[in-house]
Amino acid sequence: MTAPAWASRAFSPLAVRNFRLYFIGQTLSVSGTWMQRIAQSWLVLELTGSGTAIGLVTAVQFLPLLFLAPLGGVIADRFDKRRLLFVTQSLAAVLAAILGILVITHVVKLWMVYVLAGALGLVASIDNPTRQTFVLEMVGREKLTSAVSLNSVLVNLARVLGPAAAGALIVTVGLGPCFLVNAATYLAVITALALMHHGDLYAVPPQSRRAGQLREGLRYVWTTPALRTPLLMMAVVGMLAYEFQVVLPLIAKFTFGGDAGTFATMTAFMGGGAVAGGLFTASRKARPAVALARTGALFGATQVLASFAPTLVIEYAAMAVVGAASISFLALGNATLQLRSTSEMRGRVMGLWAVAFLGSTPIGGPIVGWIGEHIGPRFGLGLGGVATLLAAAIAYRGLQKIGAIEGEAAAQPSAKLVP
């Protein structure tokens, strides 16, 4: 029986051996990462009882991305991405193992969590732009949108598996094993990278080192509206809307009187919705630039509605819808930037993407945490939705113009997208 057209589009990247290996390895590794995120947030809550403290440790973890991800993008452009990922994944495994040992031996202090979170952020500032651009090298341009969406499905399938495992481990054996299991899961990605056929990669020749490469990347993005508008939009949304690891523990504990299991279940429902949203996005054909603003508006609206959920069961259902909308927005934004940037600039562009999406968290995390603690968790969640709606409304006209220009270019026989 022939597979439906939508399924063929959605899963076509898995026909590529290198991406298939990567997908399997990442499924295990990212599940471990989500397990650690749940455990880390709950560890800080146990140590302090403060929503602001959760926001601060999240800020410390993502602060290096704010300042160093553009430099990480330069490094991604300069070196072989596969080899670079061997290094970053190994370092992340070591940091997770250290935190697990500290927790199990009962010597962990809040400052230690801050130090290790900051160190992980340093690794991520190189790892994130490298991983983002490596996806294109595995599958090529035609399959990129589907591959990015499937990668988002992977992350959110892990958001179901990881928190479920974290909740079970925390209740039965404690927090420490969550970090140790995460350290072990990095071996899956390292093994996948080792088994890849290098000759099958759409590898971009590394850029030679020269002065001014970081400034060159910043100037390129700022003078290219098709890149500048999505990045500015994502900076606002990333700062205030993607703060779920800060606000959801507060909603679970203080709004609904729950525990770590409630928080994990809420996150799992959001991940389940994101899996559905990612598959839907992967099955779609190429989308115009303005679709990013429309999807952002949908994401913002669902988050506002979730902040009004009257019961825990309704909140679970609402977070599933939020998850679907959020991952569709994220996948479209990622693919939009990669397809509209030149190959020699792609690492630096995705470094700025990391700044906009993850590096803005240090600014928004404490703000959302403070609002959630002192005004109310519902207000912390609703703030992100309102910010996303406003960002989408402002970006709509600019993205509409970009789409019109691209449409005119596509109508010319000799026109083609940036390589």
The per-residue pLDDT for 165 is: 84
**Residue 192 — very low, low, confident or very high, per pLDDT cuts 50/70/90?**
very high
d(CA 74, CA 56): 28
The per-residue pLDDT for 145 is: 76
The per-residue pLDDT for 315 is: 92
d(CA 81, CA 154): 20
Rg for the chain (alpha carbons), in Å?
Answer: 20
Mind listing the pLDDT tens digit for each residue in 278-318?
777 777 665 667 788 888 999 999 999 999 999 999 999 99
Q: Where are the domains of the chain?
A: 5-411
d(CA 182, CA 184): 5
The per-residue pLDDT for 42 is: 85
d(CA 129, CA 146): 18
Mind listing the pLDDT tens digit for each residue in 345-395?
888 888 888 888 776 766 788 888 889 888 999 999 999 999 999 999 998
The per-residue pLDDT for 419 is: 34
Mind listing the pLDDT tens digit for each residue in 174-186?
888 999 999 999 9
The per-residue pLDDT for 8 is: 64
Mean pLDDT of 27-55: 86
The per-residue pLDDT for 418 is: 35
Mean pLDDT of 157-176: 82
Q: Which of 345, 333, 343 minimizes the C-alpha distance to 417?
A: 343
d(CA 409, CA 416): 8
The model's pTM: 0.72
**With 70 as the cut, is the pLDDT of residue 404 above it?**
no
Burial class of residue 48 (count of CB atoms within 10 Å of its CB; 0-12, 13-18, 19+): middle
Q: What is the DSSP string of 231-289?
A: HHHHHHHHHHTS-HHHHHHHIIIIIS---HHHHHHHHHHHHHHHHHHHHHHHHS----T
**With 80 as the cut, is the pLDDT of residue 402 above it?**
no
Mind listing the pLDDT tens digit for each residue in 218-241?
888 888 888 888 888 988 888 888
The per-residue pLDDT for 406 is: 54
Q: Are 180 and 100 in contact (CB under 8 A)?
A: yes
**Residue 415 — very low, low, confident or very high, per pLDDT cuts 50/70/90?**
very low
**With 80 as the cut, is the pLDDT of residue 92 above it?**
yes
Burial class of residue 190 (count of CB atoms within 10 Å of its CB; 0-12, 13-18, 19+): middle
- Its sign, for the CA torsion 330, 335, 336, 341, is positive
Does the domain formed by 5-411 have CATH 1.20.1250.20?
Answer: yes
